[in-house]
Amino acid sequence: MSADRLLVALDVESGARALQLADALKGVADGLKVGSRLFTLEGPPLVKALVARGARVFLDLKFHDIPNTVAQAVDAAVQTGAWMIDVHASGGSAMMQAAAKAARDAAARTGRTPPLMIAITVLTSMDDAALRETGVERALLPQVVALARAAQAAGLDGVVSSPHEIASIREACGAGFTIVTPGIRGAAAGAEKNDQMRTMGPAEAIRAGASYLVVGRPIIAAPDPRVAAQRIVEELTTSR
């Protein structure tokens, strides 16, 4: 279903507002992303409250540390009931392997379904010049594809990438690989890029091969978030 492919970024100022949005969006967009700001403010209890409401929570904390530390963090994340968890692919294969194993082990120990484990490739706020500033001489697209291949080899389920890299990742990693796409703008999702450099419209991104779309401001800042989400779902449904 098109609605299942929409993940709403709860980039808001409080847990109360996040729960209010979850209730308003229920049945239209039950995939919700909790990022660093909201998690730092409210912690695991908010994730558990969203899960209790029936939401599929993408816990977007982008773990990036030594393998043992990341494994422990993933174990804790699984215990919140998160449906999807991410790490940075640039943390390396050993770190990603540790994350994948921790997710499986924690799910088995707690009787949960293992979460989708995905890796950040290159942040959508970056371009080739910004990537070079970090010491990476390879151009952005081949760097994204190399990190996606490494994530797949490490046993992760997919990656986060800009919509502009979807086709190349699909070619490299296959149809079953999960691709989560932020930076969705234009048409029903709203026109402003904000801090995203590599953007695309919702229907265009799905046609390109995205598994899930992350949309934040165009929904949560709308006068009626439910209506805004419905418009995006309708665009996805009619564009297939």
Q: Looking at residue 200, what DSSP letter applies?
A: B
The larger pLDDT score, comparing residue 184 to residue 225, is at 225
State the pTM of this model. Answer: 0.92
Confidence check: pLDDT of 186 > 60: no
pLDDT tens by residue, 145-161: 999 999 999 999 999 99
Confidence check: pLDDT of 32 > 60: yes
Calculate the dihedral angle through the C-alpha atoms of 229, 239, 160, 121, rounding to the nearest 10 degrees.
-140
Radius of gyration of the chain (CA): 17
Query: 3-state DSSP call for residue 192?
Result: coil
| DSSP secondary structure string for all residues of 19-52 | HHHHHHHTTT--EEEE-HHHHHHH-HHHHHHHHH
Instruction: List the one residue out of 103, 106, 99 whose CA is nearest residue 120.
Output: 99
pLDDT level of residue 196 (50, 70, 90 thresholds): very low
Instruction: List the one residue out of 22, 221, 235, 35 whose CA is nearest residue 123.
Output: 35
> What pLDDT score was predicted for residue 228?
95
pLDDT tens by residue, 74-94: 999 999 999 999 999 999 999
pLDDT tens by residue, 7-29: 999 999 999 999 999 999 999 99
> What pLDDT score was predicted for residue 185?
62
Q: What is the mean pLDDT of residues 183-200?
A: 54
pLDDT tens by residue, 57-78: 999 999 999 999 999 999 999 9
pLDDT tens by residue, 173-182: 999 999 999 8
Catalytic residues: 62
> What pLDDT score was predicted for residue 239?
60
For the chain, domains (ranges, CATH) are 2-225 (3.20.20.70)
Share of the chain above pLDDT 70, in %: 91
